[in-house]
């Protein structure tokens, strides 16, 4: 009995927080846009009983999804989001791994402090931190003033409102999500394994490549997912730091929803985004599992 409850809890969680909202979105994506409140039809009329339900299903169609394929704007936005999310994830990994490594190699009494320093920025609102980057990166901002003062540059750099600013924002915001899982795996790493590798003739560098990196793979994967997934649908950072040329699916979704008042197409965009995310992750998980089983 206890076991059943233990299994049921995560499923109930999944049902309430993922499946139900997702089904509502799917339902809207199959409706037609209308000048009404809320702005789509058909709406499920439960008061009309079975006839209402039947009527509802008769009116459903997939035209919002076919519409997405008719306009290349959506595909370009999906691809551009994928590109930005991928590059950001790689950058975050390149910066986050050394930080996590340094933290794990630090004296044990220092580690809680270092950990604290990584988490500390979260004590400030995310929005305020992004706004402060606007202050740093803008034409008359802190960075440009400093570089001009030191004489490194003679003309202010245009960073704000470009894709570079978006990368800075995403990498900065999601860095702790990369550092923490990698640090967790590195901290647990058995140092004697590296000593053994070195005793057997590995140089320090190759011991790092052959032992440390493979053993920290779970942390790397977790970190990459934690950065990649939210970055793909990111809306706030590109709209505040990015220029008008930064095409991201989150912004397209916003426009469908708010500017076109077309909730059905907006929902269709969201459903496709979710499929783009879920299918590779499921395939990846399955592959990992197979490898693990084969490893046994």
Q: How far apart are CA 284 and CA 279, in angstroms?
A: 9
Closest approach of Cβ 221 to another protein, in Å?
33
Q: Which is nearer to another protein, 224 or 232 (CB)?
A: 232
The nearest distance, CB 23 to another protein, in angstroms, is 18
Q: Which is nearer to another protein, 65 or 225 (CB)?
A: 65
> Nearer Cβ to another protein, position 234 or 262?
262
Residues 246-253: contacts with CB under 8 Å, at least 24 apart: 246/80, 246/84, 246/162, 246/163, 246/166, 247/76, 247/77, 247/80, 247/81, 248/77, 248/80, 248/81, 248/84, 249/74, 249/77, 249/78, 249/80, 249/81, 249/273, 250/81, 251/77, 252/73, 252/74, 252/77
With respect to another protein, which residue has the nearer C-beta, 34 or 99? 34
Q: Which is nearer to another protein, 104 or 272 (CB)?
A: 272
Q: How far is the CB of 55 from another protein (least distance, A)?
A: 21
Binding site for another protein (CB under 8 A): 33, 35-39, 71, 73, 138-140, 161, 243-247, 252, 255-262
Question: In angstroms, what is the minimal distance from the CB of 73 to another protein?
Answer: 6
CB of 41 to another protein, least distance (A): 12
- DSSP H or E run through 32: strand 32-33
């Amino acid at each position: 009995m206890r076991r059943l409850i233990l299994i049921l809890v995560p499923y109930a969680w999944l049902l309430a927080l993922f499946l139900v909202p997702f089904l509502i979105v799917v339902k809207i994506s199959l409706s037609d846009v209308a000048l009404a409140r809320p702005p789509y039809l058909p709406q499920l009329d439960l008061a009309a009983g079975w006839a209402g339900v039947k009527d509802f299903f008769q009116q459903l169609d997939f035209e919002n999804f076919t519409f997405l394929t008719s306009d290349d704007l959506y595909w370009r936005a999906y691809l551009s989001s994928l590109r930005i999310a991928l590059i950001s994830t790689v950058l975050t990994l390149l910066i986050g791994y050394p930080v996590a490594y340094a933290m794990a190699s630090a004296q044990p009494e220092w580690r809680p402090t270092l950990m604290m320093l990584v988490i500390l920025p979260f004590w400030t609102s995310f929005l305020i931190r992004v706004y402060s980057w606007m202050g740093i990166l803008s034409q008359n901002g802190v960075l440009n003033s400093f570089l001009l003062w030191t004489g490194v540059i003679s003309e202010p750099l245009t960073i704000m409102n470009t894709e570079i600013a978006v990368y800075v924002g995403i990498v900065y915001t999601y860095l702790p999500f990369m550092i923490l899982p990698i640090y967790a795996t590195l901290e647990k790493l058995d140092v004697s394994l590296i000593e053994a590798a070195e005793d057997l003739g590995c140089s320090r560098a190759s011991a790092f490549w052959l032992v440390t990196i493979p053993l920290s793979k779970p942390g790397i994967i977790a970190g990459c997912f934690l950065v990649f997934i939210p970055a793909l649908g990111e809306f706030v950072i590109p709209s505040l730091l990015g220029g008008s040329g930064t095409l991201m699916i989150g912004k397209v979704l916003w426009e469908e929803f708010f500017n076109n008042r077309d909730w059905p197409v907006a929902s269709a965009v969201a459903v496709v985004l979710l499929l783009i995310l879920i299918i590779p992750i499921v395939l990846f998980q399955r592959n990992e599992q197979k490898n693990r089983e084969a490893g046994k």
